[in-house]
Amino acid sequence: MSSEEKSSTVGYWGLFLISLIICVAMLIFIPQFFWVPLPFVLTFLVYALRAI
Q: For position 7, what pLDDT does the model report?
A: 60
pLDDT tens-digit readout, 26-39: 999 999 999 999 99
> Is the pTM for the entire model greater than 0.85?
no
27 backbone dihedrals φ, ψ, rounded to 5°: -65, -35
Domain range summary for the chain, segments of one domain joined by +: 3-48
Give the residue from 31, 26, 8 showing the smallest Cα distance to 40: 26
Report, as ranges of residue numbers, the positions in the chain whose pLDDT lies below 70: 1-7
Q: For position 44, what pLDDT does the model report?
A: 96
Q: What is the C-alpha to C-alpha distance for residues 41 and 51, in angstroms, rounded to an integer? A: 14
- Yes or no: say if 26 and 34 are a contact pair by the CB < 8 Å rule: yes
Q: What is the C-alpha to C-alpha distance for residues 15 and 24, in angstroms, rounded to an integer? A: 14
- Yes or no: say if 16 and 39 are a contact pair by the CB < 8 Å rule: no
